[in-house]
Structure 1
Amino acid sequence: MAYAIKSKIRYEITESLSDYDHLITMPISPQAKKSAPYLGDTWQARLIQIPTPKGEIKGFITSCVCPEKYPLKALLDVYWQRWEIERGYGELKQYQLSNKPALRSLKQEGIYQELWGILTSYNIVRLEMAEMAKAHKVEPLRISFINALYLIQDEFLW
């Protein structure tokens, strides 16, 4: 399990495994203590910091504290995969579905059909983005999902 680093997070570094990889101790929140008094006062976690181009260091905290079992590269790979999935869900909800409830069907078959339609159209937009990137010799992440979606919608209207 991993959590993005928030600006107000409190922790103490107990051991540095590298410049960007640390074992930390964090206080247990009062809400967590109330619901589970057996937790104690602190818990150990691992802080992975990711340097960003603007000089800010962002990262995540995970409960995978054993560096032998969970090497830094493996954690970063999983984190970036998860990040891409989250971005995809965000694009689907915000742009493709306009932040509106998407499923109108009341029957299971209809819900499946609507979900497949949404996912298929999302993948078609992503496929078209990859083709645009290839044609213009740029990375696919340089192409905006929303702009690609609008261009495709405009093409259908023409």
Structure 2
Amino acid sequence: MNLFRHRPLGVSALVLLITAGGCSSADDSASAAVPSPGAKAAQLCRSLDKVLPSKVDGESRHDPEPASALTAGWGGPEIILRCGVTRPPKMIDPEVADGADPDAVAGGVNGVDWLMEKRDGGGNRFTTASRSAYVEVTVPESADNSSVLIDLAPAIKKAIPEGIAD
């Protein structure tokens, strides 16, 4: 399966970049910074929390601290989801893309578009694109990126409508 595929971008679509980023991996005492989205995104995130799967990539749900409807975790937690994050700097609007990275691609998995950033020390950070709220998922090197994104896609499509986040 090809995780990312090239396809034409619409006017409201975002250019997705595969870039290098940095961060360390989560452990059994994982914590996740709780985002502070606006009211509309917060409501969408609460809706997402209600429909998230109990297992992702075969791992059971085990949420990070502090407990919040805006964060979720699976596997200890090693896979961390944060809903209502700010737009990543690497995600740019095509109308202001002068000088954009020539390797920019539109990446989608089961109807959900993602920005993928490599993390120092292994693993990836994925952030939804073309949705009314940004959802960030950090995935350790040991996890199957495709499986994680496939498992999360139905919930994201159900709770976070297509559009551009504020």
Q: TM-score range by the shorter chain?
A: under 0.3
More helix by share: 1
Q: Is the radius of gyration larger for structure 1 or structure 2?
A: 1
* Bigger relative contact order, structure 1 or 2 (CA pairs below 8 A, ≥6 apart): 2
| TM-score, scaled relative to structure 1 | 0.22
